[in-house]
Chain A
């Protein structure tokens, strides 16, 4: 019940295109859904996060869409750039009660010039 499933495992997009990464969770008690971005040889860094009281959050070219009834959330990267090429992890936790982050398996995004 603690799993977070992420897809696709890898994604290749042309420059200027839209990258979409999906995650599904099982535990309805999760109340914090962050996305982390990791460049090769580096540690992950928080990219954007959402809480279930909103259905969408946008920061620049990055948007999280959240569907509470379907227990799914997704990351959209608009106007994808080669510099966006990285591994993206979704995660979930019960932040209000202090539970650990459960990470998805990761998506390796490649944006071709």
Chain B
């Protein structure tokens, strides 16, 4: 089955700890994205990557970091510098950056206490 996988589905961390969210795709898409979703708000872009070894900040990149060492993988690290990290995180991909349909993964719900 082609698609995007995110793990884990639920993640709990103590304040002050860094945490890495996994995102893998087997769609052979060049572009990948990370969005944050909060209740009553639209999806907000954190980071995106057009191609391997390249990534760009989105609208709310502060307190987050990413890497793109493989075409299939685009992990997101939520650092202790992120002031309000509790949220639902969505990974997506598309054939090319910002064109065509974006396919979303099932999301990871991160709770930081």
A positions within 8 Å CB-CB of B: 4, 6, 9, 34, 36, 41-46, 49, 89, 91, 93, 95, 98-106
Q: Among residues 61 to 113 in chain B, which have CB atoms less than 8 Å away from a CB atom of chain A? A: 90, 92, 96-107, 109
Which residues of B are at the interface with A, using a C-beta cutoff of 8 A? 4, 6, 9, 40-45, 48, 58, 90, 92, 96-107, 109
- Is A100 touching B45 in the complex (CB atoms < 8 A)? yes
A50 to chain B, nearest CB (A): 13
- Does A42 contact B106, Cβ atoms closer than 8 Å? yes
Given A45-B104, A106-B42; 14 other pairs, CB 8 A cutoff: A41-B106, A41-B107, A43-B6, A43-B105, A44-B104, A46-B101, A46-B102, A89-B42, A89-B43, A95-B100, A98-B97, A101-B102, A102-B42, A105-B40
